[in-house]
């Protein structure tokens, strides 16, 4: 009994025995810790081939169970355009006073679908890919970016049908068609940024994916997809705040840029003032801001 009582207490832990010190000495870091922003950008760039391959694979598999397969990539927006033409162009008469209304409408539907699908896919990017997120270590921003790239690929695939429609309705090929390249590039940056914002929010609140269709449908109705915003802006009876919101609506900005590039009867006077500056501004705000907002929660994705 005396031997037990006389046993000296264990020696206190030295700094060398501290786990944090041992980890630092051997170059170990916390698993899943958020890297610095420059390091995160380098990691994302290093996986650019994965992002491209993942987007292409998702696009190929999207309609793999349908008998018509990839035809639905073109058929879906065309059917939407046909429905909108019947309701808004024919029944409600929004086509009156709008030259080349069918090219006007189809261009709006195709470009809006790009934004809508990117945001919807981004909302589910993390919550719908938990198995991949938990199994592999990679910058999580690769997921919403790849989904936005998938939708860009689908739009480019559908552009062939859009060009045929334009030519069938007498819209000539012009040098202005080259403006579609910077317009789509800016829209892609904007879409990817918003997709990253929604991916972070959707990871925390998966039910947000059920709410988004209603919000996006409302956004579509005020974006001039089926009607001319220019005619509404000429109505001075509306409050100035409403006119400014319609004029600076990012979805409408990119839609009108594509219409200006592709349709010769859509003139520069129908575009908002400083339209390219506004388009670049929205792309930078959404792209840079969305990326940083997503990066700040990097270490939380897939947990819980």
pLDDT tens digit string along 114-165?
999 999 999 999 988 888 888 888 899 999 999 999 999 989 888 888 888 8
Structure tokens of 283?
Answer: 């792309």
Burial 207-240 (b: 16+ CB within 10 A, else e): ebbeebeeebeebbebbbbbbbbbeebeeeeeee
Q: What is each CA distance from 253 to 104, 107, 178, 273, in whole angstroms?
A: 14, 13, 17, 11
188 DSSP 8-state letter: H
* Chain centre distance of CA 223: 16
Predicted pLDDT at 26: 57
Do 282 and 190 touch, CB atoms closer than 8 A? yes
Residue given tokens 């998938």 in the structure block: 150
Predicted pLDDT at 2: 46
Spatial separation of the C-alpha atoms in residues 63 and 86, rounded to whole Å = 27
Residue given tokens 């698993």 in the structure block: 31
End-to-end CA distance of the chain: 50
Domain boundaries along the sequence of the chain:
40-299
Residue given tokens 């501290």 in the structure block: 18
Predicted pLDDT at 1: 47
pLDDT < 70 stretches in the chain: 1-32, 63-70, 89, 235-236, 304
Question: If we measure between CA atoms, which residue out of 200, 213, 225, 244 comes closest to residue 94?
Answer: 225
Predicted pLDDT at 252: 94
Do 156 and 252 touch, CB atoms closer than 8 A? no
Predicted pLDDT at 53: 93
Do 112 and 249 touch, CB atoms closer than 8 A? no
Contacts of 267 (CB under 8 A, 6+ apart): 260
Question: If we measure between CA atoms, which residue out of 242, 237, 250, 246 comes closest to residue 277?
Answer: 250
Spatial separation of the C-alpha atoms in residues 253 and 243, rounded to whole Å = 14
Task: For Cα atoms 281, 282, 286, give the angle at the middle one, nearest 5 degrees.
Answer: 120
Do 195 and 125 touch, CB atoms closer than 8 A? yes
Do 209 and 202 touch, CB atoms closer than 8 A? yes
Do 153 and 53 touch, CB atoms closer than 8 A? no
């Amino acid at each position: 009994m005396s031997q037990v009582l006389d046993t000296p207490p264990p020696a206190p832990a030295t700094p060398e025995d501290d786990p944090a010190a041992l980890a630092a000495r051997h170059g170990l870091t916390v698993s899943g810790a958020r890297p610095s922003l420059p390091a995160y950008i380098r990691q994302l760039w290093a996986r650019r081939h994965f992002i491209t391959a993942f987007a292409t694979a998702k696009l190929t598999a999207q309609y793999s169970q349908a008998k018509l397969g990839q035809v639905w990539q073109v058929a879906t927006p065309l059917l939407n355009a046909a429905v909108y033409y019947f309701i808004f162009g024919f029944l409600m008469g929004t086509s009156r006073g709008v030259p080349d209304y069918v090219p006007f409408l189809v261009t709006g539907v195709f470009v809006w679908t790009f934004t809508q699908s990117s945001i919807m896919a981004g909302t589910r990017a993390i919550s719908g890919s938990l198995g991949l997120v938990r199994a592999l270590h990679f910058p999580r921003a690769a997921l919403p970016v790849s989904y936005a790239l998938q939708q860009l690929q689908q739009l480019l695939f559908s552009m062939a049908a859009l060009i045929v429609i334009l030519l069938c309705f007498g819209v000539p090929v012009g040098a202005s068609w080259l403006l579609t390249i910077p317009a789509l590039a800016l829209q892609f940056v904007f879409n990817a940024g918003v997709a990253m914002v929604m991916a972070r929010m959707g990871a925390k609140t998966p039910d947000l994916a059920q709410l988004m269709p209603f919000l996006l449908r409302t956004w579509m109705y005020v974006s001039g997809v089926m009607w001319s915003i220019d005619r509404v802006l000429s109505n001075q009876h509306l409050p100035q705040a409403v006119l400014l919101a319609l004029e600076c609506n990012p979805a409408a900005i990119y839609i009108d840029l594509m219409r200006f590039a592709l349709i010769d009867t859509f003139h520069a006077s129908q575009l908002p003032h400083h339209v390219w500056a506004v388009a670049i501004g929205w792309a930078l705000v959404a792209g840079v801001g969305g990326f940083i907002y997503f990066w700040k929660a990097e270490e939380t994705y897939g947990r819980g």
